[in-house]
Structure 1
Amino acid sequence: MRMMMHFSAVVSMIVLLLGIPNSALAWGDEGHEVVCQIAYMELSPTARQRVDGLIAEDTEFREFARSCTWPDHPRQRASEHFLNVERSASKVTSGQPCGTAAKCVVTAIVNDTRDLAASPDGSDALRLLKSLGHWVGDIHQPMHVSFSDDRGGNKVSVTGPCDSNMHSVWDTCILQETIGEDAKTVAVDLRSEITQQERMDWSAGDVTLDTVLGWANESLDISRMPDVGYCVLKGDVCQYDDNRVVYEEGQQTRSVVVDEPYLQHQSERVRTRLKMAGVRLAAVLDKIFGEGDQVIAAANLRDFSLKRVVDARAAATPNVVPQLRNLALAPTVRDKQMAGVPTQDQIDALLVRVKELEAELIAMKSR
């Protein structure tokens, strides 16, 4: 594990020497795979079949989860992996969804969601699917909604087991040191923790610009928290350190102690962000992969509504064949009377069994 941490530090140094913003490498490959594996397991059967169909066309990846690392290898659409804000900003607003930049992870999600929903079977659908999975992971990594002068924590040194910088701590170190190193196993474990209430809280309703901004603001809230150690709050301003508002290139970097207590304390936040990203990505893809092939797209960013896009597509091509999962799963009145309302114990037992079956399936596929 320590060797992997040193490897990550070497990669970070190479990236910086080449002048590539390391903030393009959110969560590391494992984190992105965890998010997309959770999303894949959360998908409805119909949506999962559509995703499988697109991935089957890919010449590089055989699994959706692994395909979500694609925009990092090589780096693509560099400015759309993150969102830089002013150090005085406590919230990202619709008036400036990318701050002073023209593009960012917020617009990447909105644009790719719109384009994929508009043509889910189009020639560009595979690229959009892989990109969208990546962007949703990026926006849930707190160091990706941060400050440009310190490169999203790349210019904040750390001491301890992680032995690199603050960005790398949140990309990989917390995940690998406290949660696990195998993406599929971690995804199964994390998904088993998600409750139905959390699914509703995290992904209910339409997907709009405000929805995506909400995801960004959750990350910004975390990056500004004092116990994270990324910046130092002085009034409303989150300074680089006690004496410097911003970091200037060539200056000595500040150092934060990232020890075992820190890693354990932040572990729950990382677990939650990964679960949120997976559930939300699944909800977006479930909405996208409906019937029909013609869509009226939003006129501009603020008008975007995934529900409106999908509704327009459905209206253009009416769905006259009921979905199979509705026919198979919709209980009759007699079934409901006989079954009664399931208890929480029954639900928990089923979730445990689902986890066991998924682990068995993953093991079989890897043989």
Structure 2
Amino acid sequence: MMLLILLIFLAKAPATQSWGSEGHYITCKIAQPLLSEAAANAVQKLLPSSAEGDLASVCSWADTVRSIYPWSSSLHFANPPNVCNYDYTRDCHNTQGEKDMCVAGAINNYTSQLASYGDLSTAVPYNLAESLMFLSHLIGDIHQPLHLGFISDLGGNRITVQWYTEETNLHHVWDSKIINETLKEFYDLEVSAMIEDLQRNITGGWSDEVPTWDSCSKDSLSCIVRYASESISLACEWAYKDVTADAILGDDYFLSRLPIVEKRLAQGGVRLAATLNRIFSSGIDFSK
């Protein structure tokens, strides 16, 4: 009941910065059809009733609880010290220096929490519905390159740019502006059409790459560090490249960066599904 009340309240709350709501929705829509039967059953059991079985409907939940859970703000990002590589020991902490308080540490933590689902031998000390919603959101975040951007500019938040005729910042360009421009220019604002295109690429043009996206050792942290390392590399190669303060970003920037955004959304979805499939692969029948 408390979770339902919280979700109703948060539906009215303003969103904060992350992959925009469309980006998280897309990632989770890609993930859900890729779930194994066991994972799909567990997700259905854990989702709040207000979600009506749709994981994507709560994939922006973690953004809306930052004012209620102030400690969670640092869980959406990790900022290396102006170098194009990610080091977990060096980079995973909050502004108070607390270790593991970053997007990679949080994904690892919520993965571990969800692994306790179905364990009847002991009381589970976690709200696993919230664990699922945090995990689903944060796997999206770790695939947004500027969530692993430099600490000096807070992942591009301090870099003011002009997106066509609108003043914004570089981080917001990657969170929302590129996706929104794509929806406007190519999909008549239909998110479902963009999702279908990405799904076709996953089974078509990217199909040779996909097995490498979701391959992961049993050591979940090593996979998470890999996702983070990809993002800071892409931030250096694409997000920051040729961008200075007050730069005007238009068609050249949009069209050259769009393929990166599309693939990161797809990778996030495939990897979220793979993560949930690994978590719930214990053989327990979660449908009962």
- Scaled by the length of structure 2, the TM-score of the pair is 0.78
SS of the equivalent of 2:114 reads helix
5 Å matches for 1:187-336? 187-195=195-203, 196-206=207-217, 207-225=219-237, 227-229=238-240, 254-291=245-282
Structure 1 distance, partners of 2:146, 2:168, is 14
Give how far 1:144 is off: 0.4
Shift of 1:117: 1.1
Q: Which residue of 2 aligns with 1:115?
A: 113
Q: Is the 8 A contact 1:97 1:107 kept in 2?
A: no
Question: Where in structure 2 are there 5+ consecutive unaligned residues?
Answer: 1-13
Match of residue 249 from structure 1: none
1:61 aligns with 2:51: yes
User: Can you list the C-alpha shifts for 1:51-103, whole angstroms capped at 9, x where unaligned?
Assistant: 12222xx154332102111011132400110001101x222124335166521
Mapped partners of 1:160, 1:86: distance in 2 = 26
Q: 1:183 to 1:74 in 2, by over 3 A?
A: farther
Q: Which has the higher contact order (CA 8 A, sep 6+)?
A: 2
Indicate conservation of the 8 Å contact 1:31/1:171, yes or no. yes
Aligned to 1:50: 42
**Aligned CA distance change for structure 1 residues 182 and 127 (closer, same or farther; 3 Å):** farther
Shift in Å at residue 120 of structure 1? 5.0
Q: Matched residues in 2 for 1:142 and 1:101: separation?
A: 23
Deviation at 1:112, TM superposition (A): 0.5
Distance 1:183 1:172 in 2: 13
Asked whether the 8 Å contact 1:94–1:210 carries over to 2, the reply is: no
CA distance in 2, matches of 1:74, 1:94: 25
**RMSD in angstroms over aligned alpha carbons?**
2.6
Quick one: distance in 2 between partners of 1:157 and 1:199?
35
Q: Counterpart of 2:198 in 1: which secondary structure? A: helix
Q: How many angstroms does 1:193 deviate by?
A: 0.7
Letter in 1 for 2:26: V
Alpha-carbon distance in 1 for matches of 2:213, 2:270: 7
The one-letter amino acid paired with 1:69 is: S
Q: Determine the C-alpha separation between the residues in 1 that align with 2:167 and 2:221.
A: 37
Q: Please tell me the residue identity of whatever aligns with 2:114.
A: L
Aligned residue in 1 for 2:74: 79
Which residue of structure 1 lines up, in the alignment, with residue 138 of structure 2? 135
Q: Residues 219 and 101 of structure 1: is their aligned pair in 2 closer, same or farther, counting only changes over 3 Å? A: farther
Tell me the CA shift for residue 35 of structure 1.
0.5
Q: Where in structure 2 are the equivalents of 1:15-54 lying within 5 Å?
A: 25-54=17-46
Cα pair distance change 1:101/1:150, threshold 3 Å: farther
SS at structure 2 position matched to 1:164: strand
Q: Secondary structure of the equivalent of 1:153?
A: coil
Question: Do the aligned partners of residues 266 and 49 (structure 1) sit closer, same or farther apart at CA in structure 2, a change above 3 Å counting?
Answer: same
Unpaired runs of 5+ residues, structure 1, are 1-14, 16-21, 233-240, 242-253, 293-318, 324-367
- Counterpart CA distance in 2 for 1:230 and 1:154 is 15
For residue 44 of structure 1, what is the amino acid of its counterpart? S
Larger Rg computed on CA atoms? 1
The count of corresponding residues between Structure 1 and Structure 2 is 251
Question: Partner letter of residue 30 of structure 1?
Answer: E
Whether contact under 8 Å (2:104, 2:225) holds in the other structure is yes
| Partner Cα distance (1:72, 1:78) in 2 | 8
- Distance in 1, Cα, partners of 2:32 & 2:22: 15
Amino acid in the other structure paired with 1:282: A
Instruction: Give the whole-Å Cα distance in 1 for the aligned partners of 2:38 and 2:114.
Output: 16
Taking the aligned partners of 1:151 and 1:159, their CA distance within structure 2 comes to 18
Question: Secondary structure of 1:224's match?
Answer: helix
Counterpart mapping for 1:95-114 below 5 A? 95-98=89-92, 102=99, 103-114=101-112
In the superposition, relative to structure 1, how do residues 106 and 198 fare at CA in structure 2: closer, same or farther (>3 Å)? Answer: same
Q: Does 1:172 align with 2:176?
A: yes
Which amino acid in 1 is paired with 2:198? Answer: L
